[in-house]
Amino acid sequence: MNPADLLSAMKRTVEQLAAFNEMAKALTSTLELKEVLQLVMQKVSDLLHPRNWSLILQDERTGKLYFEVVVGEGAEALKSLQVLPGEGIAGTVFSTATARLVDDVGGDPSFAPRFDQASAFRTRSILAVPLIARGSVLGVMELVNGPSDPPFTADDLTTLTAIADYAAIAIENARNFRRVQELTITDEHTGCFNARHLRAQLDHEVKRSQRFHHPLSLVFLDLDHFKSVNDTHGHLVGSALLKEVGELLVASSRQLDQVFRYGGDEFALMLVETAPEGAMITARRIRDAFRSRRFMQSQGLELRLTASLGVATFPDHASSTTELIRAADFAMYAAKAQGRDDVCLAERVSDDPNVLQRVR
């Protein structure tokens, strides 16, 4: 190696070491997954200059791979696609936990052309390495160059492998942190959010409502005669039934709404940017869903269950988080007092949020 080449190689090594040191410090300073991925994107672009590249992660529920980050031509088209383990070069790298350096995909039988077809890009060279943390493959980092670009090199493979090692650890830490956070705000029996999280979210959304002048509605729901289910079928069936109720409420809500188990057999729904009229439509839809549903069919039962619901809206029926909870709660108990299996709307008279009006 001549002195100029040696100097160039040494300079590149120093730059890589400095970048790795900076990345290690940054990745260990955050547990937010979005921040981790943004940093990884930056370092891949700075050090390797690929035409296109992607970070592909496994969906922990379905087992399929999805494009978490896509950079380059045709990126938007790829974001909606999924990759099966073992499909294409990235899927093969995931399944085998072995990196691949392919100079020309035209001669590689594992190359899957459907991704080029979707993105309208012609791939020539691919560099793909697995993201491995604690012996488990989380996903794949894949770099792609076109016919007019130079193929990737063994040095590029070494660099990307080092980046992937840092990234995998950071992603795993961020996921574990998220799981711990979810445990603190999630009800273990139903999978819905818990009462503590309801109060925190209401405080946040009430402030947001005040700032942007958007309505915020709260629906309280109590299961009618739920005690008889426990008395007749036992608490295990009762717990399983509560889980089905949570699933029904989530299925009956919009994506931006949130469902909470308030305690016992009481649930709550927070409906953002929703006026009383819209909240009543949602509440009636939920009431009707209970009427038509037969619960616990997977266990050979066909239990009927109804619910009493109360609706209140900020600022129409309350001027604070506490008043909003109280108004929805009182409306729910009014529905129970008037025969159950119905919906009541809070009506604010003067400054008293506890005067209720039944709305059919």
In order of their start, the domains of the chain are 3-185 (3.30.450.40), 195-358 (3.30.70.270)
Q: How far apart are CA 259 and CA 269, in angstroms?
A: 5
pLDDT of res. 35:
76
pLDDT in tens, 187-209: 888 989 999 999 999 999 999 99
Beta-carbon contacts of residue 137 (< 8 Å; ≥ 6 apart): 58, 94, 97, 130, 131
Q: Give the tokens for residue 225.
A: 């005669």
Q: Give the tokens for residue 46.
A: 């700075």
pLDDT in tens, 314-349: 999 999 999 999 999 999 999 999 999 999 999 864
In this prediction, residues 120-131 reach a mean pLDDT of: 96
pLDDT of res. 40:
77
Query: Which pTM does this prediction carry?
Result: 0.57
Q: Is the pLDDT of residue 356 over 50?
A: no
Q: How far apart are CA 104 and CA 74, in angstroms?
A: 20
Alpha helix ranges (H) inside the chain: 3-27, 33-48, 75-79, 88-96, 114-119, 154-185, 195-212, 226-233, 235-251, 276-292, 321-337
Beta-carbon contacts of residue 296 (< 8 Å; ≥ 6 apart): 237, 240, 241, 244, 302, 303
Distance of CA 182 to the CA centre of its chain: 11
Q: Is the pLDDT of residue 32 over 80?
A: no
246 closest CA partner among 229, 228, 269: 269
* Upstream peptide bond of 315 is cis (omega within 30 degrees of 0): yes
Q: How far apart are CA 95 and CA 81, in angstroms?
A: 18
Q: How far apart are CA 237 and CA 244, in angstroms?
A: 11
pLDDT in tens, 47-98: 888 999 999 999 988 899 999 989 999 999 999 899 999 999 999 999 999 9
pLDDT in tens, 223-250: 999 999 999 999 999 999 999 999 999 9
Using pLDDT thresholds of 50, 70 and 90, give the confidence band for residue 178: confident
